[in-house]
Structure 1
Amino acid sequence: MALHFLDGEIDNARPEEAAFHVIPVPLETSVSYGSGTSEGPAAVINASTQLEVWNGTSTPAENGIHTTPPIDCGGPISKVLDRIEDAVCYAVECEALPVVLGGEHTVTLGALRALRQHRRFGIVQFDAHADLRNTYEGSPYSHACVMRRAMDDLGLPLFQIGVRAMCKEESDYRKANEVPHLDARELFLKGVPRQILPPDFPDNIYISFDVDGLDPSVIRATGTPVPGGLSWQTAISLLESVVKGKKLIGVDLVELAPAAGDHASDFAAAQLAYILMGLGNTAD
């Protein structure tokens, strides 16, 4: 029998009684460097069995966590996105916070499509990369295009944190569309500002956290690790700041590519997923 999040500490709550739906999506179709993201969701769930139920500030698990079966990632990417969308819509129907575990970053698009049906919101993206290419390696649904699809196809506002690697096309697009951002270099030079999100950013927010947004000293097990990333404590401070006064309506954690013997990366990803659930308890 497959493990569920925090297996051994809590039961897998009934979906209609859970505050959180953990949705594993082992998608790996467009990775462009290191491979292994299809193993990411299972590694996070397995590592979660070693977490403390109290995360240091709260106990999200006491409100119930339901872990769904892994999303079927076979067939055309359009069908996979439909399945993700259905799972997230069901979480919304259950009044639960969807917690999508990737898999490559493309999985985010399915979640965004589902939530876009219900309300207006903005995306806060933690990432080493901008993911604003229109196509990559012939596909508009590459992991490198997910935020371009969110903006162009869904009309969602975006705020980027931790970016430190992007192409000229992405830089030009970001300037032309005035995408607000707090890049890794600026954070290093100036520290975390008192106010992060623009005053007119939506009250409802979705957090998309690519683990390569963190420095490789924190999580090395990812397809494209980029030096100069966020420290653990800086990332947590940023997360706490962006949810203050906002309503968190969904989260994802993507691009973990587990490596043999690197338990630290898996555990850090699991801890981050649980911290994100805690933010969902307190965001509004």
Structure 2
Amino acid sequence: MKPVLNFLGEEGPETRPDRSFFHVIPVPMETSVSYGPGTAAGPGAILEASQQLEAWDGESVPMDRGIHTTPAVGCSGSTEEILSRVESRVSRSLSMGAVPVLLGGEHTVTLGALRALKAREDQDFGIVQFDAHADLRETYQGDRFSHACVMRRALDDLDLPLFQIGVRALSYGEHELRRERNIPGLGPGAVHRGEIPDPLLPPGFPKNIYISFDVDGLDPSVIRATGTPVPGGIGWYDALMLLEKSIFGRQVKGFDVVELAPVPGDHASDFAAARLVYAVMGLIRRKSRPLV
């Protein structure tokens, strides 16, 4: 059996949880994949690839704030049982004042983190979702907890504000729901044309945010190893710019990177996902800096 890897490995030696700003929580959940399988191997692939990261991210050393990697959340049993474990693990990190960083696993894992945040009475927050898909179906393939329904659960079950970035594949029902509920967002076409509002998030959006980043929100030229790749996605530097605009002036209460489905020999996708995780950490570390 392989030993449990810490995020960054030798570059980022294991740090005590009570002294770490970031808690990396692997959640190898795969219960409702609907096209290409493999998300259960995503967290391990990200941790493996993170061993090749440099501590200096180009502007800062996010690991200086402390990065603690927890054991993987057990993903046997029912979806509700798994989500309960995720919620408990995230709640523990929040109680220590840490930023929980979930590594998926399918997108459903996000719901456990959102439940943990919602349970904290002082946490008024909204979701910034990077994704090729809206994930707003009421049910999908008979499952209301499908990865295709996670943001519907956030809206209907948790009553959370939502801003969607990169969505370019959705059902007509999801399109109608976004129109009826006036769900704001920014499509990749607008990004390509440079039609990016400033500020990015709408007036009145909560100052506290949770970032959920499905890797298929990126163009497949950046990350191809995902179960449902969609052409026409966001490029690497545009994604970083949009993340910075989302984070600036706000408090990030947690984030996740989900839906990596590793393919043998495609180290580039795994490494890009690991670098994305570390890049978000860096942006959070530097959030008080003005945009340049």
- In the superposition, the TM-score normalised over structure 1's length comes to 0.98
Secondary structure of the structure 2 residue equivalent to 1:53: coil
Asked if the contact 2:188/2:234 (under 8 Å) is kept, the reply is yes
Q: 2:179 aligns with which of 169, 175, 178?
A: 175
Cα drift, residue 194 of structure 1: 2.5
Structure 1 match to 2:83: 81
Asked if the contact 2:17/2:68 (under 8 Å) is kept, the reply is yes
Structure 1 match to 2:149: 145
The correspondence of residues 55-66 of structure 1 with structure 2, limited to 5 A, is 55-66=57-68
Distance 1:185 1:93 in 2: 40
- Match status 1:49 vs 2:51: yes
Distance 1:201 1:131 in 2: 20
2:254 aligned partner, one-letter code: G
Q: For the aligned residues, what is the CA RMSD?
A: 0.9
The correspondence of residues 246-265 of structure 1 with structure 2, limited to 5 A, is 246-265=250-269
Residue correspondences, number: 284
CA deviation digits over 1:186-206, x for unaligned, max 9?
222334333210011000011
| Gapped regions of structure 2 (runs ≥ 5) | none
Asked if the contact 1:248/1:283 (under 8 Å) is kept, the reply is no
Q: 1:235 aligns with which of 223, 231, 239?
A: 239
Structure 2 match to 1:92: 94
Asked if the contact 1:248/1:279 (under 8 Å) is kept, the reply is no
Asked if the contact 1:222/1:255 (under 8 Å) is kept, the reply is yes
CA deviation digits over 1:161-197, x for unaligned, max 9?
0000000110011111100010112222334333210
Distance 1:215 1:191 in 2: 18
- Match status 1:190 vs 2:194: yes
Q: Percent identity between the aligned chains?
A: 58
Distance 2:46 2:31 in 1: 20
The correspondence of residues 193-204 of structure 1 with structure 2, limited to 5 A, is 193-204=197-208
Distance 1:241 1:97 in 2: 19
Secondary structure of the structure 2 residue equivalent to 1:8: helix
Asked if the contact 2:37/2:261 (under 8 Å) is kept, the reply is yes
Cα drift, residue 72 of structure 1: 0.3
1:202 aligned partner, one-letter code: P
- In the superposition, the TM-score normalised over structure 2's length comes to 0.96
- Match status 1:218 vs 2:222: yes
Distance 2:255 2:284 in 1: 9
Query: After TM superposition, what 4+ stretches of structure 1 lie above 6 angstroms from structure 2?
Result: none
Of 66-75 and 272-281, the range deviating more from structure 2: 272-281
CA deviation digits over 1:45-96, x for unaligned, max 9?
0000100101111111011111000000000000000000001001101111
Asked if the contact 2:191/2:238 (under 8 Å) is kept, the reply is no
Structure 1 match to 2:69: 67
2:101 aligned partner, one-letter code: V
Asked if the contact 1:132/1:170 (under 8 Å) is kept, the reply is yes
Structure 2 match to 1:133: 137
Distance 2:180 2:165 in 1: 18
